[in-house]
Structure 1
Amino acid sequence: MPSFVWATGITVGAQSTVSPSLVELGRDGVPWFVAVLVATGVLKLFGALIGIGLTRPRGSRISRLLVLCGGGAATLLTWHGGLFVVHGVLVEAGAVSVEPDLAGLTAWYLYLWGPWFTVGGLAFAASTALYVRRHDDRGRLRLYGASGALGALVLSVASTATGIG
């Protein structure tokens, strides 16, 4: 996974697709940024486990956790990708300007990263919905899925509003 590789200071593939300031933080091994990269890598692995878990029937406790996380992942990924696409469209249309060193990245975020995150979010949504549909306690599981989605949306909106995400 790129997050773990970039955490070592190797920024192969990042120079043309990620903000130069982020590439520099990774290359310089800034401790807090390395921690963010490692945490991101761990979250990606956790997401993979959730995705795999949604393919098999589980006990009620695990099912609730899977649906909670699946709803959250669906919301975070779709929202994140949607923001990339909307921002890219606004930049390409000339409605929003970006710093010159970031202008070359707009197409990457508009045509690759945004759609990639959005499709991932929709895949999590579909997987979670199919998982819920196969269980007897659908009502309770839907509540967990909605809670995960709402929690993820609140977290994402708060981080976007504060400039963190």
Structure 2
Amino acid sequence: MNPRLDDTRHRARWPGYAAAVWGFVFAVPSFYWAMGGTAGVESTISPQLVELARRQDPGMLAVLWVTGVLKVVGGMLGLALARRRPWGPGMNRLLQLMAWGAGVLLAWHGAQFIVQGLLVQAGLVEIPPAALPILRWYTYLWGPWFVAGGVAFMLAARAHLRTVADRRYPQMAGVAGGLGALVLSVVALMAGIG
């Protein structure tokens, strides 16, 4: 094998590992809260969600378990993107679709938290005073965390694409994933969800 190509593939693996670590680390609070843990709940998430978590609401527990599993799947996606040997054509398309979809969705979601928080702090948007401490967590912790995850997945997708011999169809799948996530996010925002 060509040593330069092997070195390029090795260097290209770090974004996949970063995305994997992001997914696995982010799954921990979801599973912890789903199992009844309450540390960090009151100060970092909205009061309505805190109350549901305290009451062990079945719907809230289901959401926590599902989001935890999805974050683990994201971690596994990161590992798949960091794989040394290229996958087959179908898997390369699926990885690009999922990675760009996740990356755009996460970056958009985090940017919303940050922009909303900065608008409130600038006095351009008003919220109830009781929500201000939580808003700071969303602005300075959750927002940047989501953006970092989104960037990690997009960089991992880009690095993975460099290892693929025929990039045309995986590239199209990545564009579809990214645009699909963006459209879904905009529709959810307009509907008042998220």
TM range (shorter): over 0.9
One of 114, 131, 146 as aligned partner of 1:102: 131
Amino acid at match of 1:119: A
1:107-126 correspondence to structure 2 within 5 Å: 107-126=136-155
Instruction: Find runs of 4+ consecutive structure 1 residues off by over 2 angstroms.
Output: none
Instruction: Deviation per CA, 1:115-146: give whole Å up to 9, x if none.
Output: 11111111111110111121111111110001
One of 140, 148, 157 as aligned partner of 1:128: 157
Q: Which has the higher contact order (CA 8 A, sep 6+)?
A: 2
TM-score, length basis structure 1: 0.95
Unaligned ranges ≥5, structure 1: none
CA distance in 2, matches of 1:91, 1:33: 28
Whether the 8 Å contact between 1:7 and 1:34 is mirrored in structure 2 is yes
Amino acid at match of 1:52: L
Residue 17 (structure 1) aligned with residue 44 (structure 2) = yes
CA distance in 1, matches of 2:63, 2:166: 37
**Percent pairwise identity:** 49
Instruction: Deviation per CA, 1:50-85: give whole Å up to 9, x if none.
Output: 011000121222211111100001101100110011
RMSD: 1.1
Whether the 8 Å contact between 1:8 and 1:29 is mirrored in structure 2 is no
Instruction: Deviation per CA, 1:83-136: give whole Å up to 9, x if none.
Output: 011001101101011122211112211111111111111111111011112111
Larger Rg: 2
Q: Which residue pairs with 1:59 in the alignment?
A: 88
